[in-house]
Structure 1
């Protein structure tokens, strides 16, 4: 129903931003990361998710598309609702969430209020399985080089691809983003960051 809202930021409250679009104020539940990117009285753009259910009509907004993608992926995990997903994405960026999934780092997830070890392990298990399916078809990470990639290159590229899949990018988008990135020498987090920069250009 709503893809994004683009207007003036009229209110910034805990976990809530109000965007005025043509005289109508839309209250969007959101994360600390998105709130930090907004300034009251200035223009703001939020990618939205509408949660509709029995007696429920809630709008969620995110400053970046990959944060919205991460939110939707978390909602796909059994036992994770919007409140828990917001808590996780307030404590972790989409990049650090992806890293936590790849490295099976439950501590990053349990840093969020209300997220216990059991739910953190379920998130890692279910999303890692989803990542494995996303990258099962194999991707071309060679960047056009003729020589076969060494094992380190392949392993790091695969881990980076899995992390990017967590953020909702397709196999084709991931393959294009990783081409030309120095996956052999950069730390995994830097590989992911550089790839994301290429995708948002």
Structure 2
């Protein structure tokens, strides 16, 4: 029903951003990741997800495609609702969330309020299962390009970064192109992902 809202940021609160679109204020539940990128009085566009259930009619807003994609993946996990998904995204924005799934880092996810060990383990298990066998194999270093880029001990970080970018919906080819020019052998996986996402967003 709503694809995005585009207007002036009228109000920012914990977990909430109000966007004024032509005199109508749309209250969007949002992660701290998104709220941290907004400023009252400036123009912003948030991609949206509408949650409708019985008497609930809630709008959720996201700063970019990656965050919206992660939110939709999270709410597909049994036992994870929209508010829990936002809680996770507030401590683990898309790059860190994707990496935590690949590396099975449940400790990061349990930093989110209301997320216990069992839910964190379920998120990792179910989202890893959603990745196809082909994705996991191609992200595991089969590509000679990846191997060449990760000489001198950087291969594991690059493999993790490629896999994480694929969790976010990019192809292996897109991930490797985005890594072009990066000194991947001397960067941590999360930094590789962040730099790649910047390059992909600019394309």
Structure 1 and Structure 2 fold alike (TM over 0.5): yes
Question: What's the TM-score bracket when you normalise by the shorter of the two chains?
Answer: 0.7 to 0.9
In structure 2, the residue matched to 1:167 is 168
1:193 aligns with 2:194: yes
Pairwise CA distance, 1:24: 1.5
2-structure distance, mates of 1:40, 1:187:
34
Q: 1:38 to 1:149 in 2, by over 3 A?
A: closer
Deviations 1:68-115 (A, max 9, x none): 111111112121110100111112222221222122111110111110
Q: 1:49 to 1:134 in 2, by over 3 A?
A: farther
Q: 1:141 to 1:94 in 2, by over 3 A?
A: farther
Higher helix share: 2
Deviations 1:8-41 (A, max 9, x none): 1111122111111112111100111211211112
1-structure distance, mates of 2:177, 2:44:
29
Q: Identify which range, 94-103 or 132-141, moves more after superposition.
A: 132-141
In structure 2, the residue matched to 1:183 is 184
Deviations 1:121-169 (A, max 9, x none): 11111222233546146365727x9x79759555433311211122233
CA contact (8 A) 2:152 2:185 kept: no
1-structure distance, mates of 2:5, 2:22:
11
Name the Cα RMSD after superposition. 2.5
TM norm structure 1: 0.86
CA contact (8 A) 1:135 1:161 kept: no
CA contact (8 A) 1:99 1:189 kept: yes
2-structure distance, mates of 1:18, 1:96:
26
CA contact (8 A) 1:132 1:162 kept: no
2-structure distance, mates of 1:78, 1:51:
16
The aligned runs of 1:1-201 (5 Å cut-off) are 1-133=1-133, 135-136=135-136, 138=138, 140=143, 142=145, 152=153, 154-201=155-202
1-structure distance, mates of 2:56, 2:28:
14
CA contact (8 A) 1:12 1:40 kept: yes
Pairwise CA distance, 1:199: 0.5
Partner secondary structure for residue 185 of structure 2 = coil
| Structure 1 runs not aligned, ≥5 long | none
TM norm structure 2: 0.85
Q: How many residues were matched structurally? A: 199
